[in-house]
Amino acid sequence: MTTVARTRDELRRARQALTGSTALVPTMGALHNGHRELIRRAKNLADHVVVSIFVNPLQFGPNEDLARYPRDFDADLRMCEAEGVALVFAPSEKTMYEREPAIRVCAGPIGERLEGASRPGHFDGVLTVVAKLFNLTRPDVAVFGQKDSQQLALVKHMARDLDLGVRIEKAPIVRDDDGLALSSRNKYLSADERQAALALPAALEAAAEVADNGGAPAEVVAAAFGILDSADGVETDYVALVDPDTFEDPSGGEALLAVAARVGNTRLIDNVVVNIQKG
């Protein structure tokens, strides 16, 4: 039986009842099979799994999709129960932010690149809510998905730099049968838009092949950009080859190819890890 806590007092009592180690899976709800894999990864890492469900307003810009972000708590809870989650923390906005935060976590230079450049302030909001969730749920380990690679890198830096005492674990990207990375925002896509969105995984696959054949960084980026730029219905935001930890230019070896594009009114991100020749 999964316990649901909506207030801080309920969370404190439920958390005290959990003996042994705990793993946190932070989510914004609208859970899908990608989240299911995060939960399963967490179950392998700790005695108990805690899932948080909270659509965090601090990470949405003024013209983004906060109001229409998909929400289905009943379905989310059913998944958590089916996967043996011990505790779901589903606070209201008032519970999480009793007043407008006077202090926020600053994501620094990494948070100003790629997603941060396209969505100013986004990562400050992400790190602020994640820090609060760590403090409230007190996990031993927290699991984040590779699809949000920049978020993953920033959370790792925050946990280490601020001595939060939480180990950060990565779960791989989960894809649908057609190759599209699972995302709660995929629900926005029409049938035609979904077909157009397949340009993202196609671009990554083409770029990875160039990298596997010893292509230079510029050639790897060009392979992905060429597919995205020529795809009908796809507006490319960025194609970038970066160091997966610093998000600066890679010096060789393992690198992250990250892409972002808008399909219709839906903004999608994806990435793949490649190996490039050292310069």
Catalytic residues: 35
Question: Can you say whether residue 16 is alpha, beta or left, with left for phi > 0 and alpha for psi between -120 and 50 degrees?
Answer: alpha
Name residue 151's beta-bridge partners: none
Q: Which residues contact 141 (CB under 8 A, 6 or more apart)?
A: 21, 22, 23, 24, 42, 45, 46, 166, 167, 168, 169
> In angstroms, rounded to a whole number, what is the distance separating the alpha carbons of residues 151 and 160?
14
> In angstroms, rounded to a whole number, what is the distance separating the alpha carbons of residues 34 and 173?
7
CB 36 within 8 A of CB 162: no
> In angstroms, rounded to a whole number, what is the distance separating the alpha carbons of residues 78 and 273?
33
CB 113 within 8 A of CB 247: yes
Three-class secondary structure assignment of 34-48:
HHHHHHHHHHCCCCE
Would you give the end-to-end CA distance of the chain in angstroms?
A: 55
Q: Residue 92 is encoded by which pair of tokens? A: 């209201």
> In angstroms, rounded to a whole number, what is the distance separating the alpha carbons of residues 98 and 161?
26
